[in-house]
Structure 1
Amino acid sequence: MWREDKQFERWMEQANQPFTGWDFSYLVETGRMNSDCLRWSYGSMAMPLMQDAKSMLDMGTGGGELLSMLRPWPKFVCATEGYRPNLSVAKERLEPLGVTVLSVEDDDRLPFETGQFDLVLNKHESYSPREVRRVLTVGGYFLTQQPGGTDCFEINERLGVPLNSAFAKWKLDAAIRGVREYHFEVEKQSEQFLRQRFYDVGPLIYYLKAIPWQIPDFEVDKYREELYSIHLHIEQQGYFEVTQHRFYLLAKALA
């Protein structure tokens, strides 16, 4: 029983800390969680686009961790964040550097002028292709990397929670159809399924707190028995392996 497993209880206590920003180095750099390498680099694609742009929007900036490292920036840079706990973190990190950081909760209503940006970046953030096209100049670029609809489905299976039926259809083909409908030309794209491993149950809990859409009602106490089952699996196997679903597209705004 988990009540008699002191190590399991220690993992529970260590994982019971608030998650802010979008920084998994606490888990990755200690080797407690890792993933296979993607065939592409979001940062290596973003930086040349930034160098050719005069204005840029970073959608879903998290705590501004990635944006703060993607330098040099265009002359005018804005960032949005929809998750309230991250907003103050992003403002504190980015606003002293000259970035305008705004809260956005409705993908269909971005608080920007039509044609305001030469470049829109979006890593793992929801978006409306119509609204992205509206805020882009003709000839501007939209680069997005997305988690696909079957991302880490093994977690849902072990916790007994079905995947969101609407989100389950989210994949590269659907994203391409969406941007083409709003006058984009897709110049580059790729999709990949890769392994992600958790080497103790603590990082899994930390991860689920950071991505509440995976298990919308996730609470440690509610799923303690299922988490203990995964803990025992890790004790035997050495890790708990899931399948990441990732894709990206680079699209140019047409007239």
Structure 2
Amino acid sequence: MSDTGARTFEELIAEAEAASVDGWDFSWLDGRATEERPEWRYARLLADRLSRATAALDLQTGGGEVLAEALAGAREAAGGVAGEGARPGPALTVATESWPPNIARATALLHPLGVALVADQDEPPLPFGDAAFDLVVSRHPVRAWWDEIARVLRPGGTYLSQEVGPASVFELVEYFLGPMPPEIRSGRDPDRAMKEAEAAGLDVVDLRTAALRTEFRDIGAVVYFLRKVIWMVPGFTVERYRDQLLELHRRIASDGPFVATTTRFLIEAVKPA
């Protein structure tokens, strides 16, 4: 049974529809949904790379939450536990974002940390000069523009990213949309990302994948997730999918959490010196 099983379908739906979905903070789902985390701990890796960088760029930062956490980690590491070459964070840190609600949220969060937020449409060209950064990062980019990443990296610079992998949470997607064609299921392939990075002149030094258990414990969690991650079920509204939502609500109440598989991959590449 879901922890919210005593509440009605309408109550759960209304609460999820009223919740803000700005930014990339999923704390609203605490106790209502769970997702395993990759063993590599991206925020910790990012903090380490930031502690050694002089000029860093975070592409598609969302609400800036992950970058803010990593900058705090970098400064903590530089205070005593980091290795040789650590510093309290880059002298210059810039982030980009395209979605207006996230632009406002990231600006408010990151400006006090000394990070400049640039409104950008997430399409080439990036609004920066050649070899501007020794570190470029991105968590869950919609698309990695490898030629542009290589262009703005300095020789010897590093690109670090955690991306959504193929067919991620497709159990939920296909519940609403039906079976996806093979070319959709095989998209966001990590081996393809590696080949594209290498074609842009970068050397891939790390590539790891993870398949992670994800549970939705009530229908409000499903609605919130689909409102926030808008590309999972394009055009999702409660009204449009009310019958399927009600059926899923009854299924969770009788059988327990709806289980899906989240896929992620980590890729790190270096521009040859």
Distance 1:36 1:55 in 2: 32
- Partner SS for 2:8: helix
Amino acid across the alignment from 1:169: G
What does 1:1-255 correspond to in 2, within 5 Å? 7-17=8-18, 18-28=20-30, 31-71=31-71, 72=75, 73-125=89-141, 126-161=143-178, 163=180, 165-166=183-184, 168-254=186-272
**SS of equivalent residue, structure 2 residue 40:** coil
Partners of 2:208 and 2:122 in 1: CA distance: 27
Per the alignment, in what secondary structure is the counterpart of residue 105 of structure 1? Answer: coil
Identity %: 33
1:60 positional shift: 1.4
Q: What residue is the counterpart of 2:83 in the other structure? A: none
Change (3 A) 1:6 1:23: closer
| Letter matched to residue 125 of structure 2 | R
Deviates more, 1:216-225 or 1:164-173: 164-173
Asked if the contact 1:163–1:214 (Cα under 8 Å) also holds between the matched residues in 2, the reply is no
Equivalent residue of 1:11, what SS?
helix
- Could you tell me which amino acid in structure 2 is paired with residue 64 of structure 1? G
Q: Residues 23 and 62 of structure 2 are in contact (CA less than 8 Å); yes or no, is this contact kept in structure 1?
A: yes
Q: Deviations over 1:62-91 (max 9, x none)?
A: 111111121232110000112221110111
Instruction: Give how far 1:119 is off.
Output: 0.4
Aligned length in residues: 249
CA distance in structure 1 between the aligned counterparts of 2:197 and 2:220, rounded to whole angstroms: 38
Structure 1: 5+ residue runs without aligned partners? Answer: none
Please report how far the alpha carbon of residue 7 of structure 1 lies from its aligned counterpart in structure 2 after TM superposition. 0.4
In 2, the alpha carbon distance for the partners of 1:133 and 1:48 equals 21
Please, what TM-score do these two structures have when normalized by structure 1? 0.93
Give distance in 1, aligned partners of 2:179 and 2:234. 11
Q: CA deviation at 1:114?
A: 0.8
TM-score by length of 2: 0.87
Deviation readout 1:188-222 (Å, 9 max, x if unpaired): 11111111001001111111111111111111110
CA distance in 1, matches of 2:7, 2:158: 52
Change over 3 Å in CA distance of 1:141–1:167 after alignment to 2:
farther
- Unaligned runs of at least 5 residues, structure 2: 1-5, 76-88
Task: Report the secondary structure of 1:169's partner residue.
Answer: coil
Amino acid at match of 1:122: S
Change (3 A) 1:56 1:96: same
Q: Is the 8 A contact 1:79 1:101 kept in 2?
A: yes
- The letter for the 2-side match of 1:186 is V
Distance 1:54 1:128, change over 3 A: same
